[in-house]
């Protein structure tokens, strides 16, 4: 998969993309990332990429012209254009999965107080990573690349890892443990040491439901539970937790 990033700070991506799983995926050729400097497409002696807003107001606004020229130069054969903005649709696992099916993503990173409204018309999708404001779209672009990139076939050493994690099945992930079996009086649950895989899977499912119910009830409010899952939910409701 190929990512093209339109940004005023292309060096921002150098170190993060050299690290860990994504760095290894890039080295293997499973992911390709190109950061393009929007300023290279700005006109005039000073290559200005921002200006004062019409009608007055605080801060500076990102100009439509250099962003448009950068996109036209980069897009070429196509690709899905994503604009990072607090006004976009919430970024979640389902969206990451959908984007991972694309061959190419072009991400436009905003800066300054905001961007010329006409830039929105360049995007196929506006995405927000949360209800807060950052200094620019570079961090959201990294979040999108990391969440989407790890879903590309071959990126994770064990494909099952992406299936069993939080949000992948609509629930938060069950508790995980490793050695030692006991640390400062806190022990690993006996069922995980039993070797009984059917009971382990049953325990993990129950813990996922409990954890989601307690921490993110919004994730299961619309779910239809049956059998033992429904029994777990009913017990949690009765307990008043």
Q: For 102-160, how does the pLDDT look when each residue is reduced to its tens digit (9 = 90+)? A: 999 999 998 888 899 999 999 999 999 999 999 999 999 999 999 999 999 999 977 66
Cα–Cα nearest to 189, from 171, 174, 211: 174
Q: Is the dihedral of CA 203, 208, 211, 213 positive or negative?
A: negative
| Residue-level pLDDT at 167 | 65
The string of DSSP letters for 32-64 reads EEEEEEGGGG--TTTT--EEPPTT--SS-EE-H
The CA angle 84-85-89, to the nearest 5 degrees, is 90
pLDDT exceeds cutoff 60 at 164 = no
Cα 138 from chain centre: 12
| Residue-level pLDDT at 162 | 61
Sequence-ordered strand ranges (E) for the chain: 2-7, 32-37, 50-51, 61-62, 80-90, 104-109, 114-115, 125-128, 182-183, 186-187
- Pairing state between β 104-109 and 80-90: parallel
The domain defined by 166-239 folds into 1.10.1270
Encode pLDDT of 66-112 as tens digits.
Answer: 999 999 999 987 999 999 999 999 999 999 999 999 999 999 998 88
127: exposed, middle or buried (Cβ count in 10 Å: 0-12, 13-18, 19+): buried
- Which residues in the chain are classed under CATH 1.10.1270.20? 166-239
Helices (H) and strands (E) in the chain, counts: 7, 10
- Pairing state between β 114-115 and 61-62: parallel
CATH number listed for the domain at residues 2-149: 3.40.1280.10
- Which residues in the chain are classed under CATH 3.40.1280.10? 2-149
Average pLDDT, the chain: 93
């Amino acid at each position: 998969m190929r990512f093209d990033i339109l940004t005023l700070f292309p060096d921002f991506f150098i170190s993060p993309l050299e690290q860990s799983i994504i760095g290894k995926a890039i080295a293997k050729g499973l992911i390709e990332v190109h950061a393009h400097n929007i300023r290279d497409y700005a006109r005039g002696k000073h290559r200005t990429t921002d200006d004062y807003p019409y009608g007055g107001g605080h801060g500076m606004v990102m100009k439509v012209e250099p962003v448009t020229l950068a996109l036209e130069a980069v897009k070429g054969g196509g690709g899905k254009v994503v604009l990072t903005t607090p006004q976009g649709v919430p970024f979640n696992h389902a969206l990451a999965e959908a984007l991972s099916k694309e061959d190419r993503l072009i991400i436009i990173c905003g800066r300054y107080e905001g961007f010329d409204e006409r830039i929105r018309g360049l995007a196929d999708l506006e995405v927000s990573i949360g209800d807060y404001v950052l200094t620019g779209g570079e961090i959201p672009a990294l979040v999108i690349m990391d969440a989407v990139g790890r879903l590309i076939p071959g990126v994770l050493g064990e494909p099952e890892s992406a299936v069993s994690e939080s949000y992948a099945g609509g629930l938060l992930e069950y508790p995980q443990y490793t050695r030692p079996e006991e640390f400062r009086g806190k022990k690993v649950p006996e069922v995980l040491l039993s070797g009984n895989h059917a009971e382990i899977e049953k325990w993990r499912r129950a813990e996922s439901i409990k954890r989601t119910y307690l921490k993110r009830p919004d994730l299961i409010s619309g779910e239809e539970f049956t059998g033992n899952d429904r029994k777990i939910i009913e017990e949690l409701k009765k307990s008043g937790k």
